[in-house]
Chains A and B, each alone.
Chain A
Amino acid sequence: MSVASIQGAQAPRSIWNARWSRFRRHRLAVAATIFLVALGVACAGADLIAAALGVDPSTVDLFARFDPPSAKHLLGTDEIGRDVLVRLLHGGRISLMVGLLATALGGVFGVLIGVLSGYLEGRTDAFLMRFTDCVLSLPIIPLLIVLGAVDLAKLGLPSSWLNSPSVSFWRIVVVIALVDWTAIARISRAATLSVKHRDFVQAARASGAGSLYNIFAHVLPNIATPLIVACALTVGRVILFESTLSFLGFGVVPPTPTWGNMLTNAQELVTSAPLLAIYPGLLILLTVIAVNLIGDGIRVAFDPRSDS
């Protein structure tokens, strides 16, 4: 650090400038961001791409089974003649949406529990943390399968409504969010505890601020960094859970494609068309790696110590 920067002459106008420049120096994180943005755009524009190529993802063409890659079918066709590329993009749409939405939902739940626990301390804290330990002690995949198999009609929901595809989508979002909030809760709690005892919270209390004010004005902004990193990692994990569940047949059900359920059939094709088994998994792998790298990049960017 130079003398000038100690004296504040070169002090950046905003801490966000400094963070952005630190993030940009993390080359892998930048590459991961570009990859994810490109993938997101392609998935969002899947219908346009399909129209441009002149293919319809749901058309079954038994005369075009296992076609090799061609100008029309860039990645070939699957076992009933559907275009693999367009189906991958449609599947990506579901997988990415589930990843984001389940993280958002579980994140809200986790932050709520973690911040309450850390801010109130005492018995509330002990109770909420034991509850978190309970959920943490459950074997996640078996639990997800049971939750995925639960008959919602037994909870008194109308069965006509339950069979619509959007319900099966939201169901998986909720099921994963119900299970995967513990990491965020623990991180929020630890961060809240450390912020709560700083003097600026005491200063606000001395001016008459209540708990809600302090939580929103001081605690949440100050725990944002560890939370964002935890959320990035959660998105990756959720995508893995979703694909596993859909693969096992308890998640999003065909004909709606996801990266997970596209592999359900591929299992029987390992001898005849192994490439069909490779594409969706590769996309999951790359997406989750990218999400983890971005999380790493954000962590570095927000950590002033990483400047040296």
Chain B
Amino acid sequence: MIRYTLRRTLQAVLVILVMSFVLYNLIGLMPGDPIDVMLEGNPSVTPELMAQMRALYGVDQPLLVRYWRWLLAALSGDFGYSNTYFRPVLEILAPAMLQTVKLMVLTLAVSIPVSLLLGSIAARRPNGWVDNVVSVLALASISSPIFWLALIFIIVFAVKLQWLPAGGSAMAGASFGEQLTYLVLPVLTLASFTSGQFIRYVRASMIETLNADFIRTAHAKGLSEPTVVLRHGLRNAMLPVVTVIALSFGSLMSGALVVETMYGMLGMGKAVYDAIVNKDFNVALAGLLFATVVTLASSLLADLAYGWLDPRVRLE
């Protein structure tokens, strides 16, 4: 098992290295280069000065050299400067990350219990009316464009009912409750988006588990329905569900980008989006890389957790 863990971790680190190179190149393919952006609209710039600047910042170096320099700096925690905010990249991304973590944790805190509940209820009587209602809801959830969902929530809850703010963040020093009101709609949007997928997995996994022989045995022993469903069913159905939740971090990050952009939240997603729009290369690169690391780490953890939880995997 230790060997398995080591091997998978090593693989993940390799993948991150490869991906950092790919992303570095992709960002390099975006329009313009950092010097253009820096000197944009400055009338006194001469071509000689441009060339000097390029040499100074090493932009004229071959790609591999530039990548190697960037990688060494990045490994020591230096991701360069943002050319729109003129501050180190980490100073911009750190608070944004906090905001995104808040959004994602709250989203999971809402969607996991809801999915477990709805999925289990639906699985008890497959094709019953409860199951049909839940399945249609889940289907609608995975089929709706998340930006449109946000738009609808804004129209209903912010514009028509005026219960909640349509976006932005609370003023500095606002009370905890007030801060929370700004998070309600984003969390609701992201949770509606993720729950559909979770519910479908919980339901499928529960139906399979509840058909197993040990469940029939539990019924035959005379255990009550809730005991059977919760103690024996849900616990065994959890394994694949945990994996799916861990694997969903990638789509959660994607969703967070859209939700943050829609509600004007200053999170990672919005930071990356703004960076790409404003050609803020260093921020975009660091943000994308970070999202990749989070996604990879969560799928690695899912794999390892599976190994720890399921003795059958461990033996192989």
A binds B: yes
Chain B residues whose C-beta falls within 8 Å of the C-beta of A141 in the assembled complex: 253-255, 257-258
Check if B296 is an interface residue, CB within 8 A of chain A. Answer: yes
Give Cα A138–Cα B18 distance, bound, in whole angstroms: 12
**A142 and B288 contact, Cβ closer than 8 Å, known pairs A244-B146, A285-B140:** yes
User: Which of B15, B29, B152, B166 interacts with A137 by CB under 8 Å?
Assistant: B15
Check if A270 is an interface residue, CB within 8 A of chain B. Answer: yes
Count of B interface residues, CB-CB < 8 Å: 49
Report which residue of A133, A236, A293 has the largest number of chain B beta carbons within 10 angstroms of its beta carbon.
A133
Check if A124 is an interface residue, CB within 8 A of chain B. Answer: no
B155 & A277 in contact (Cβ 8 Å cutoff)? yes
Interface residues of B in 137-163 (CB under 8 A from A): 139-140, 142-148, 151-152, 154-155, 159
Tell which of A108-116, A147-155, A204-212, A216-224 binds the partner.
Answer: A147-155
Count of A interface residues, CB-CB < 8 Å: 44
Give Cα A163–Cα B40 distance, bound, in whole angstroms: 23
Chain A residues whose C-beta falls within 8 Å of the C-beta of B142 in the assembled complex: 292
A146 & B152 in contact (Cβ 8 Å cutoff)? no
Residue of B nearest to A155 (CB): B29
Give Cα A248–Cα B277 distance, bound, in whole angstroms: 10
B31 & A151 in contact (Cβ 8 Å cutoff)? yes
A146 & B288 in contact (Cβ 8 Å cutoff)? yes
Chain A residues whose C-beta falls within 8 Å of the C-beta of B257 in the assembled complex: 139, 141-142, 145
A145 & B273 in contact (Cβ 8 Å cutoff)? yes
Check if B276 is an interface residue, CB within 8 A of chain A. Answer: yes
Chain B residues whose C-beta falls within 8 Å of the C-beta of A151 in the assembled complex: 29-32
Check if B80 is an interface residue, CB within 8 A of chain A. Answer: no
**A137 and B155 contact, Cβ closer than 8 Å, known pairs A142-B257, A150-B30, A285-B140:** no
Chain A residues whose C-beta falls within 8 Å of the C-beta of B273 in the assembled complex: 142, 145, 248
Residue of A nearest to B156 (CB): A274
Give Cα A136–Cα B251 distance, bound, in whole angstroms: 10
Check if B292 is an interface residue, CB within 8 A of chain A. Answer: yes
Interface residues of A in 256-293 (CB under 8 A from B): 260, 263, 266-267, 270-271, 274, 277-278, 280-281, 284-285, 288-289, 292-293
Check if B186 is an interface residue, CB within 8 A of chain A. Answer: no
Check if A140 is an interface residue, CB within 8 A of chain B. Answer: yes
A138 & B258 in contact (Cβ 8 Å cutoff)? no
A149 & B258 in contact (Cβ 8 Å cutoff)? no
Report which residue of B151, B154, B253 has the largest number of chain A beta carbons within 10 angstroms of its beta carbon.
B151
B254 & A150 in contact (Cβ 8 Å cutoff)? no
Give Cα A292–Cα B144 distance, bound, in whole angstroms: 12
Give Cα A210–Cα B174 distance, bound, in whole angstroms: 72
Interface residues of B in 244-301 (CB under 8 A from A): 250-251, 253-255, 257-258, 261-262, 269, 272-273, 276-277, 284, 287-288, 291-292, 295-296, 299
Classify the interface of chain A: helix, strand, loop or mixed: helix
Give Cα A117–Cα B31 distance, bound, in whole angstroms: 36
Give Cα A20–Cα B173 distance, bound, in whole angstroms: 64
Check if A143 is an interface residue, CB within 8 A of chain B. Answer: yes
Chain A residues whose C-beta falls within 8 Å of the C-beta of B140 in the assembled complex: 285, 289
A274 & B29 in contact (Cβ 8 Å cutoff)? no
Give Cα A284–Cα B145 distance, bound, in whole angstroms: 7
Residue of A nearest to B28 (CB): A154
**A247 and B15 contact, Cβ closer than 8 Å, known pairs A270-B154, A270-B159:** no
Check if A134 is an interface residue, CB within 8 A of chain B. Answer: yes
B145 & A147 in contact (Cβ 8 Å cutoff)? no
* Interface, chain B (partner A; CB < 8 A): 11, 15, 18-19, 23, 26-32, 139-140, 142-148, 151-152, 154-155, 159, 166, 250-251, 253-255, 257-258, 261-262, 269, 272-273, 276-277, 284, 287-288, 291-292, 295-296, 299
18 intermolecular pairs with C-beta atoms under 8 Å apart:
A136-B299, A137-B295, A139-B250, A140-B251, A142-B269, A142-B272, A142-B287, A145-B273, A146-B276, A154-B31, A240-B145, A243-B147, A263-B147, A270-B166, A274-B159, A278-B152, A285-B143, A289-B139
19 other A-B residue contacts (CB within 8 Å) besides A138-B295, A142-B288, A270-B154 = A133-B299, A138-B250, A141-B258, A142-B272, A142-B273, A142-B287, A142-B291, A145-B257, A151-B31, A154-B31, A244-B146, A244-B147, A248-B261, A263-B151, A271-B159, A274-B155, A281-B145, A285-B140, A292-B143
